[in-house]
Structure 1
Amino acid sequence: MRRRSNEDHVAMLPEDPARPPDAPSEAPSEASAPPPPAATPLPGAASPTPELQPTGLLAGDVPIPVPVPVNPAGARRGGWVLGIAVALVAVLGGGALFMSGFVLGQRTELEPGTPGSEAEAFKPFWDAYRAIRDRYALEPVDRKEIIEGAIRGMVEAIGDPYSTYLSSEDFRQTLQDINGEFEGIGAEIGTVNAAGETVDCAEFGPDCRLVIVAPLEGSPAEKGDLRPGDVVVEVDGSTLDGLTPDEARDRIRGEKGTIVVLRIERQGVEPFDVEITRDTIHQREVITEDLADGEVGYVRLTGFSDNGATKFVEAVEAAVQKGQTKLIVDLRGNPGGFVTAARKVASLFIAEGPIFWEVDAQGTETETLRDDEVTAIDADIEVVLLIDRGSASASEIVAGALQDSGRATLIGETSYGKGTVQQWIDFENDNGGLKLTVAKWLTPDKHWIHNVGVVPDIVVEIPADTPAGEDPALDRAVEFLTESSASLGSLQLAA
């Protein structure tokens, strides 16, 4: 077992000994990975390991293989938030992705003179590059595109859905997204047919239209008087017909301070234009409620940004200060976030011991202990943790830690099942970045939940035809804590 150092090494593409002066010296070299906000390593911990969410989307964007969780009564469905990076859609089926924030900057040295050395192995690559550069006849060759294509090919060749190459813009936007913020107009949107009924569709047209589900509180969309049910038919004078939902979202979102003009159709009025100045949108990650006449505190966490974890700790501490001795922590549909945030959340309930383990390519085990800057709540406070098939990665770290320690009773469905760690590598000179699987993580008792998931202590299956507003898992959690089936009342949630 070892403690992780703050420096890792990544193998670089070997230099071509015979390359001409204008050939690329190597694949774009890596730079120090951008550190996640407020992710300074704490004593006894592995280096900060952010985790890429499988989607920045809310339920109802494009079909994904993870069932949409049934939220507590009143939860809104059927939309996604404008401004989230589209690059994430490509890995929706893969679940949440961990990315470490280890400092990069050195390369693995090749052993000279060994048979089958990398220099020899990559000779066909350089032969192919020179042939394309010198002989391709139809149009000029873009060297950057060739290099990016080579990187994508290498990543695709390993067959790992959690490893991928991202362009510089997607790289930047992704880091924003996993920190719980993005730049856009701040509206939850969805798709409807010509009759206004919610549908899943792949391309906008007469029977697939983009609709405002709700503007986020205090957002530019709200200030621009966008309303639920408004249909967006044009963006900056161009129709959405023929675009995918992702492409339409890309047109609407954009950098803070820029202006977008939306053509709106609203029932009862003539179509009109709305000019909106984009801004930085901070997502609401923590939702609280008092249940069972105040006897039970309910805290829902929708993501694992560092700020979200801090807000979660504050919410739980506030519930305890109110005298609540029974808590429900809801991680359903939570795809993950920063591993430092997961560690902080788990440390609120675990007074000692490891939170999880990592095992690298050499089989070395690294222990991540609890965050000593977080004071654990009293062990007499009863905790139920709600999970489902949409609870992934960082959610599973917390679930696994609380289950192995016996600190909480898990209720719901088996979680997603992602137990690998991806390292985030930022290439220099605006050449994008790479996510590469570098380790697997284990629960405190060293269970690997990859492709298996965390199995709850009490299984509550949610039928697909469960009426909106009903939540059998939440009902079961309250019943478990209060030993009664008292009415929960209406729990209003906002996405």
Structure 2
Amino acid sequence: MARKGNILEINTSGFPWKDVYLKLNRQREFQSRIFKDAKTGYFSIGEFYPNNNLLIRKLRTAVLQARREGCTSFILDLRGNPGGNGHSFDRLLSIFINRSTIPYLKNERLKVSPWTLNDYDFLTSDMLGSVIEVPSQHINKTIYLDQQLYIPGMQYYVLMDKDTSSIAASFCNILQYNGAALLAGEPLRRNALKYGETVEARFGISGLYLCVSTVEYDEYTRAVDGVLMPDIAIPYIAQDYLSGGDAMLDKLLEIIESNPIN
């Protein structure tokens, strides 16, 4: 680098390419909008990460900005979200639920395999191949929330579709069960991870790979026969998308606008 005729040599440590790729994806992914006619804010989350702190900061900023601009409703878009990591989910849920604690799991089952044997100290090699009930003391039955993160004054909606899965499906389930948001869109095929479920995950620039769940969660839920139903059913109809718009989102905005809170 040349500055005032002097050549300066600058060295930086840099970052691993996978970390850079992940950070760039995160910055592009979180889309925030305000639909003034419907007095509604909007935020989309394509997946959850090993560190969700940036996501939480951007989401809270979007909700607060929408409230400052007179919005009384807020849409969180989780369509196509394959899940990911539940890091800081207690803080994420705290934005929407004004309680100190909420119930989460009734029970948990685990498939004992070479991959899980070393993850739990109560497993032994003679259990290999078995599906066992996880002892109560090892189950996160309750989620503790930070009430200082809660943002009041909003009717929250969550857009979901058949491809909303894994921890994203659990997130939808928790919000519905606790009356914190109305779910809109398509029914989910499941409300929580099930043993043997195949989950898509993202790995670097190579794209997606598949992993298989070794656990099964029995969540507190309003699901019917294991299927999480939306409070506002908006089926996906291909013809509605031929114009290049977003028919499901447009329909939800139409419903919100026709039923104003204030």
CA RMSD of aligned residues (A): 3.3
1:463 is aligned to 237
Q: 1:349–1:377: 8 Å Cα contact kept in structure 2?
A: yes
Structure 1 residues 475 and 281, CA, compared in 2 at 3 Å: closer, same or farther? closer
CA–CA distance in 1 between the matches of 2:88 and 2:159? 18
Structure 1 residues 457 and 447, CA, compared in 2 at 3 Å: closer, same or farther? closer
Counterpart residue type for residue 456 of structure 1: P
Aligned-partner SS, 1:366: coil
The correspondence of residues 333-352 of structure 1 with structure 2, limited to 5 A, is 333-352=80-99
1:293 is aligned to 37
**Equivalent position to 2:71, from 324, 346, 354:** 324
TM-superposed CA distance for 1:294, in Å, is: 6.5
CA–CA distance in 1 between the matches of 2:57 and 2:24? 18
Aligned-partner SS, 1:317: helix
TM-superposed CA distance for 1:327, in Å, is: 0.9
Aligned-partner SS, 1:389: coil
Q: 2:222–2:228: 8 Å Cα contact kept in structure 1?
A: no
TM-superposed CA distance for 1:469, in Å, is: 2.5
CA–CA distance in 2 between the matches of 1:446 and 1:403? 8
Structure number with larger C-alpha Rg: 1
**Equivalent position to 1:354, from 102, 106, 121:** 102
2:125 is aligned to none
2:177 is aligned to 404
TM-superposed CA distance for 1:301, in Å, is: 1.4
Counterpart residue type for residue 441 of structure 1: Y
CA–CA distance in 2 between the matches of 1:447 and 1:409? 12
Aligned-partner SS, 2:141: strand
Please, which runs of 5 or more residues in structure 1 have no aligned partner?
1-171, 185-279, 423-434, 486-495
TM-superposed CA distance for 1:419, in Å, is: 1.7
TM-superposed CA distance for 1:385, in Å, is: 1.1
2:215 is aligned to 439
Q: Taking structure 2 as the reference length, what is the TM-score of the superposition?
A: 0.63
2:256 is aligned to 481
Structure 1 residues 410 and 436, CA, compared in 2 at 3 Å: closer, same or farther? closer
Aligned-partner SS, 1:293: helix
Higher helix proportion (structure 1 or 2): 2
Counterpart residue type for residue 481 of structure 1: I
Q: Which digits, 9 at most, give the CA deviation of each residue in 1:321-378, with x for residues without a partner?
A: 3332211111111111221244332221112232632614324343241432751111
CA–CA distance in 2 between the matches of 1:374 and 1:339? 20
Counterpart residue type for residue 474 of structure 1: L
Identical columns (%) = 23
Structure 1 residues 456 and 286, CA, compared in 2 at 3 Å: closer, same or farther? same
CA–CA distance in 1 between the matches of 2:42 and 2:166? 22
TM-superposed CA distance for 1:400, in Å, is: 0.6
CA–CA distance in 2 between the matches of 1:405 and 1:370? 14
The correspondence of residues 154-303 of structure 1 with structure 2, limited to 5 A, is 181=19, 183=21, 281-283=24-26, 284-293=28-37, 295-303=39-47
Structure 1 residues 285 and 183, CA, compared in 2 at 3 Å: closer, same or farther? closer
**Equivalent position to 1:392, from 145, 165, 168:** 165
Q: 1:345–1:398: 8 Å Cα contact kept in structure 2?
A: no
CA–CA distance in 2 between the matches of 1:420 and 1:314? 34
Q: Taking structure 1 as the reference length, what is the TM-score of the superposition?
A: 0.35
Q: 1:300–1:331: 8 Å Cα contact kept in structure 2?
A: yes
The correspondence of residues 418-433 of structure 1 with structure 2, limited to 5 A, is 418-420=192-194
CA–CA distance in 1 between the matches of 2:155 and 2:147? 22
Please, which runs of 5 or more residues in structure 2 have no aligned partner?
1-15, 110-131, 197-210
2:12 is aligned to none
CA–CA distance in 1 between the matches of 2:30 and 2:21? 20
Aligned-partner SS, 2:37: coil
The correspondence of residues 64-143 of structure 1 with structure 2, limited to 5 A, is none
Structure 1 residues 337 and 421, CA, compared in 2 at 3 Å: closer, same or farther? farther
Structure 1 residues 182 and 464, CA, compared in 2 at 3 Å: closer, same or farther? farther
Q: 1:351–1:370: 8 Å Cα contact kept in structure 2?
A: no
Aligned-partner SS, 1:462: coil
